[in-house]
Amino acid sequence: LMDTLQQSLLLLHSATGDAGAAVVAAALLTRVVTAPWNATSLRRRCDAFVLMPVYMELAKAYSDAQARRGGRNGGGADGAAKAEADLQKATARFQAFTEETRFSPVQGLGYQLGVVLPIGLTYFGALYGIMNHPDAFRSFVTAPSLWLDSLVLPDPYGVLPCLSALALLANAELNANPPQPGQEDAAEYFKLVMRGALLTWVPWTAGSLPAATFLFIATNGLYTALITWFYRKYCWSPPKISSGWQLPKGKGFR
């Protein structure tokens, strides 16, 4: 696979006449080829935005009933009987929810973790192979692109590292799920942590990684941000909340 990617970069460089365009084309072609898996992942991930609050409410109701089971909250025999009834209802709702939705808290992440990340790491290895054997890839190594003498060298101005961080941040900001009631502060804190981590990424890697790596990451990040936004806005139909999952009024979502 690594050799195939190296040869593909050379072929794309020959076709486009520009090493930067070859890297962008390689990233986009990879996403186009894997588009069917991406579409499934997008649907599952978007569904998770709606189903996760339902899952959390059901899990909380089940946990509360479990904690009261046997009169452990001091409710006596009546409290124990009510807790047992609540536990049976919570279990039935949970089973109905999981059977109908096949929900998993991490659903939709398989494409990013199982396709995009491995291909990105393979590309990184392929690029280092090109760097370590410049004679075999002379046309790519010596080709100037953008403001760079070569894409296998670090970006001296740090533009591409910043662009890659901004692309990843754009995806996180543009496609973030609205916070649940009462979780606004935690959501804002998570955003600050995400921003800080991505901004820290720039000075830590700018002087050590090839510019082509950041161009590949930026292309993938922008593609993910735009395709996710477009899918959620124009193609996705939110899953229906079944009455069989709902908690009694005043005890959860309705």
pLDDT, one tens digit per residue, over 114-134 is: 999 998 899 889 988 888 888
Sign of CA dihedral 76, 79, 83, 85: positive
Return the amino acid letter for 160.
L
Q: 192 or 252: whose pLDDT is higher? A: 192
pLDDT, one tens digit per residue, over 150-197 is: 999 899 998 999 899 889 888 888 887 766 667 777 777 777 887 888
pLDDT, one tens digit per residue, over 30-55 is: 999 999 999 999 999 999 988 988 89
Q: DSSP string spanning 199-246? A: HHHHHHHTTTS-HHHHHHHHHHHHHHHHHHHHIIIII--PPP--TTTP
Q: What is the mean pLDDT of residues 14-26?
A: 94
Beta bridge partners of 148: 145
The tally of CA atoms less than 13 A away on the side-chain side of residue 28 is: 12
Residue 3: what pLDDT? 84
Coil vs helix vs strand at 34: coil
- 78 band by pLDDT with thresholds 50, 70 and 90: low
Return the amino acid letter for 129.
G
Tell me which residue has tokens 């899918």. 231
Residue 254: what pLDDT? 40
Quote the CA–CA distance of 204 and 241 in Å, as a whole number: 45
Coil vs helix vs strand at 76: helix
Please give the structure tokens belonging to residue 109. Answer: 């992440």
Helices marked H in 69-183? 76-101, 110-111, 117-132, 138-141, 159-174
Residue 252: what pLDDT? 47
As a whole-number percent, the residues of the chain with pLDDT over 90 amount to 38
Task: Examine the pLDDT at 249 and tell me if it is beyond 60.
Answer: no
Count of all residues that appear for the chain in the document: 254
Quote the CA–CA distance of 78 and 26 in Å, as a whole number: 67
pLDDT, one tens digit per residue, over 80-115 is: 777 788 888 888 888 889 888 999 988 988 998 999
pLDDT, one tens digit per residue, over 199-238 is: 787 777 888 889 999 999 999 999 999 999 999 999 999 9
Residue 199: what pLDDT? 77
Please give the structure tokens belonging to residue 165. Answer: 């961080």
Task: Examine the pLDDT at 253 and tell me if it is beyond 50.
Answer: no
Q: 138 or 180: whose pLDDT is higher? A: 138
Crossing angle for the helix pair 211-230 and 117-132, to the nearest 10 degrees? 160
Residue 75: what pLDDT? 58
Query: CB neighbours of 38 closer than 8 A, spacing ≥ 6?
Result: 31, 111, 115, 227
Quote the CA–CA distance of 113 and 49 in Å, as a whole number: 18
Q: What is the mean pLDDT of residues 14-24?
A: 94
